[in-house]
Amino acid sequence: MTQAVLAIRQLSAAYGKVEALSNINLSVGEGQIVTVIGPNGAGKTTLLSAAIGLLPSKGNIEFDGVLEAQPEVEHLVGRGLILVPEKRELFSEMSVEDNLILGAFQRHRAGHRDAAATLQQVYDLFPRLKERRHQHAGTLSGGERQMLAVGRALMAKPRLLMLDEPSLGLAPLIVREIFRIIAELRQRGVSILLVEQNARAALQVADYAYVLENGRTAMEGPASQLRDDPRVIETYLGLGGKHQDLLST
Amino acid sequence: MDLQIALILGQDGITNGAIYALLALALVLVFAVTRVIFIPQGEFVAYGALTMATLQTGAAPATIWLLVVLGVMVALLDGIRAARSKRNDRLINILLWNLAYPLLLLAILFLLPLAKLPLLIQMLLTLGIIVPMGPMLYRLVYQPLADASVLILLILSVALHLSLVGLGLLFFGAEGQRTPAFSEASFDLGALTVSGQTLVVVFTSLACITALYFFFERTLYGKALRATAINRVGARLMGIRPALAGKITFFVATLIGAFSGVLIAPITTIYYDTGFLIGLKGFVAAIIGGLASYPLAALGALLVGLLEAFSSFWASEYKEVIVFTLIIPVLLWRSLKSTQVEDEE
């Protein structure tokens, strides 16, 4: 495999005494899309939260070749690890454009004054956001909110973008649009760690995949292999989902 | 009461109201960003006024020593941490702001002929001494417990308030002080005589409010503070540290507090403990705005100022009682009107 942007080894995390993750090993290579699929409550969101330091965890997290002994959100964000959380966490009473500009806050602090150019790129990718740039983020539709969350993350020029359920609660056509954009981001050299319940679409777009069940890695392998694995088909893809196939391609 | 008295009272009310408005805005800001109910705000008003008055007598105000001590404490706490993690750029920054700056100011205060300096320089020196205390106190008092509940943060505020009042007595003594007016001019407008001092207070307050508006609407750091107030997790994911947001907020709040003190010192005699009542009136105004709305808080402040002025005419012994009683109908009305706030998504 190419050099890993993110390497997680023996990661465990717990909510009180309830262990939510145990001994997870995961790695995302340069320019790859890696997906983590699994049922509700498998620990997917916990994995992302622990990786970025929102939750305390045990184990090794190595980002961009540096071991993070005590992962801290703001520090990791400064180094280019960006999370688009499941709840989006937008600044709802601020305009779309202000939300985007704040995405580049850490870069501004580090002395990079290129937010205007990045903003233009994000608007090119999401023309919809440009149309609504003066509107409050809270007035956007679900799909637009997701676009804004992704756009805001891109403003930070991530080395690795972690997307938590980007298709959650969105209409099928918008889901398709979101996955088209994920594929396009890879073209631009952004590495992506994608957590999804929509396993079909995630396995279409990803290079490598992990299946998480009850906080443990149940399966892993190249996405193209897992797509044809009978256990995955039975549990996550199901039969009679052909129309989903059509929508997600 | 005839028209002339009403106009004079109205002028008084608006002047005080303008200062309460500044304080109320600072309280709303601090609560929104850090969830701290900033009771010590009033002490910064008193410190500002009394430091200014001490400078005008030609002595170095004792508050500079407080700044030096706080600076040393912060430098020790943060400096050791930065040195351990070998972040030299941060270490230099910490030492510069918390050690070098207070000591430099100390030297300036002992070298310059303070009483002879122009009013503006005295004012800048006052702000230079008081304002950096805000971020330092945030670092020392609030930051270690930043994630605690609103109640615990309130208890911290009360403790800090009492300590600062005590230090105020130590620094300035029990005597009240008053500074000369910024302007002796007065203008006749029909039945009304407008004093230059009133105009100075009202216009600088308006200028401050406008500056705050631009800070929050136009600058990245202002937006970062708003973002932290709206969504803490979201802000952290943008790399905005709650500690940084807290320090900037306290900087702005202390600036407003000390500046209000300088503005109010020529109007009222300020004692070491006067700040509390002034701050509390700003607090009543902030409550009218639900600790959330800036325009409502500013309007509330005007209301508080006018109510105070007119009640001091009709029932001067009860003027504080009347002003603080205002909070009860406001809270009743708010609790009847408010709806359950639901979480996003």
Question: Is the pLDDT assigned to residue A239 strictly greater than 70?
Answer: no
Question: Is the pLDDT assigned to residue B36 strictly greater than 60?
Answer: yes
Q: Domain residues of chain B, as ranges? A: 3-58+113-179+194-330
Percent of chain B scoring above 90 in pLDDT: 55
B240 closest CB neighbour out of A90, A105, A152: A105
Contact of A101 with chain B, judged by CB distance below 8 Å, is answered with yes
- pLDDT by residue (tens digit) across B69-81? 999 999 999 998 8
Tell me which chain B residues have a C-beta less than 8 angstroms from the C-beta of A101.
220, 223
Decide which of A198 and A91 is more confident. Answer: A91
CA distance, residue B339 to nearest chain A CA (Å) = 18
Percent of chain A scoring above 70 in pLDDT: 94
DSSP class of A95: B
Averaged pLDDT, A96-107: 95
Cβ B234–A91 below 8 Å, yes or no?
yes
Three-state SS for B284? helix
Q: How confident is the model at residue B187 (pLDDT cuts 50, 70, 90)?
A: confident
Q: How confident is the model at residue B344 (pLDDT cuts 50, 70, 90)?
A: very low
Task: Looking at the structure, give the CATH architecture of the domain made up of residues A1-80+158-169+190-248.
Answer: 3-Layer(aba) Sandwich (3.40)
A73, A191, B162 from A157: Cα distances, Å: 16, 11, 47
Residue type, position B61, single letter: P
Cβ B227–A94 below 8 Å, yes or no?
yes
Distance, in Å, from the CA atom of B284 to the CA atom of B306, rounded to the nearest integer, reads 13
Cβ A90–B239 below 8 Å, yes or no?
no
Give the distance from CA A114 to its chain's centroid: 24
Lowest mean pLDDT among A222-226, A241-245, B259-263, B275-279: A241-245
CA distance, residue A217 to nearest chain B CA (Å) = 26
- pLDDT by residue (tens digit) across B163-177? 999 999 999 999 888
Q: Nearest chain A Cα to B217, which residue?
A: A98
CA dihedral B234, B239, B243, B247 (to 10 degrees): -100
pLDDT at B343: 42
B231 closest CB neighbour out of A54, A89, A105: A89
Find tokens 């540096």 and name the residue.
Answer: A66
- pLDDT by residue (tens digit) across A144-184? 999 999 999 999 999 999 999 998 888 888 888 889 888 98
Cβ A94–B224 below 8 Å, yes or no?
no
Find tokens 């320019």 and name the residue.
Answer: A31
CATH number of the domain located at residue range(s) B3-58+113-179+194-330 in this protein: 1.10.3470
pLDDT at A3: 75
Beta carbons within 8 Å of A225's beta carbon, 6+ residues apart: none
Q: Domain residues of chain A, as ranges? A: 1-80+158-169+190-248, 90-157
- pLDDT by residue (tens digit) across A13-41? 988 888 889 999 999 999 999 999 988 88
Is beta strand A81-84 parallel, antiparallel or unpaired with respect to B192-195?
Answer: unpaired
- pLDDT by residue (tens digit) across A102-138? 999 999 998 999 999 999 999 998 999 999 999 999 9
Question: Is the pLDDT assigned to residue B104 strictly greater than 90?
Answer: yes
A27, A28, B61, B334, B342 from B337: Cα distances, Å: 53, 52, 48, 5, 15
Distance, in Å, from the CA atom of A244 to the CA atom of A241, rounded to the nearest integer, reads 5
Tell me which chain B residues have a C-beta less than 8 angstroms from the C-beta of A103.
238
Cβ B239–A74 below 8 Å, yes or no?
yes
Cβ B238–A54 below 8 Å, yes or no?
no
**Any alpha helices (H) in A59-193, and if so which ranges?**
73-79, 96-103, 105-109, 115-125, 127-131, 142-154, 172-187
Return the structure tokens found at B341: 């706030």
Q: Nearest chain A Cα to B229, which residue?
A: A91
Cβ A105–B224 below 8 Å, yes or no?
yes
Return the structure tokens found at B137: 């106190």
Q: Choose the mutation target among A105, A139, A159, A164 for the interface with B, i.e. most B CBs under 10 Å.
A: A105
Question: Is the pLDDT assigned to residue B342 strictly greater than 70?
Answer: no
Q: List A residues 2-31 in contact with B (Cβ-Cβ < 8 A).
A: none
Mean pLDDT, chain A, rounded, equals 89
Which value does ipTM take for this structure? 0.89
